[in-house]
Copies of this chain bind each other. A is one copy, B any other.
Amino acid sequence: MSTNGSVETQLVDSALRTWQQAVDRATKLFSRLNEQELEREVAPEKNRLIYLWGHLLAVSDAMYAQLRLGERLYPEFDAPFLKAPDKTVPLPSAKEVKAAWDEVHERLRVDMAKLTPAEWVERHAVVSEEDFVKEPHRNRFTLLQGRTAHLGFHLGQAVLVK
């Protein structure tokens, strides 16, 4: 019935669509906000939108290297958006975050599309070759699924802000 290739190709396509859908939703949500709106907290005493946006960006940027696609672009975003909690250190501007966001997600989109299904079930960089022999489910595809879930998790929080 399908002319869309093998079962494994379709399974990968499905996961990439779900990832991209979450990315597009985040882009739409965050990109239209100004600096002032991005200062809003998702709930009292919780993270600000600008922090969530940068946090998702840092995770996506790291993901590029974790998928063994190449070097990541913005390791300097880990300090403010991953290692430090919100409201403890000065953050990059919304303009910087937006520019990096678009670049990081575009290269992920392009380069993830080049991976074959067999490459998707290869090791990701967070697990050693030794451990991967014992735990072969720690592959690129599982990492993609986890990152999609992480993105959705914070999207759910971001939409609480009107």
Contacts and interface: CB of A to CB of B under 8 A. Distances in A.
A141 B10 contact: yes
Interface residues of A, number: 44
Given A43-B42, A133-B1, A117 B156 contact: no
B156 A118 contact: no
Interface stretch (A31-39, A83-91, A99-107, A146-154): A146-154
B146 A156 contact: no
Interface stretch (A11-19, A61-69, A70-78): A11-19
Given A18-B142, A149-B149, A155-B156, A121 B42 contact: no
Contact of A141 (B6, B14, B22, B152): B14
A44 B152 CA distance: 21
A139 B43 contact: no
Interface in A120-147: 120-121, 132-133, 136-137, 139, 141-142, 145-146
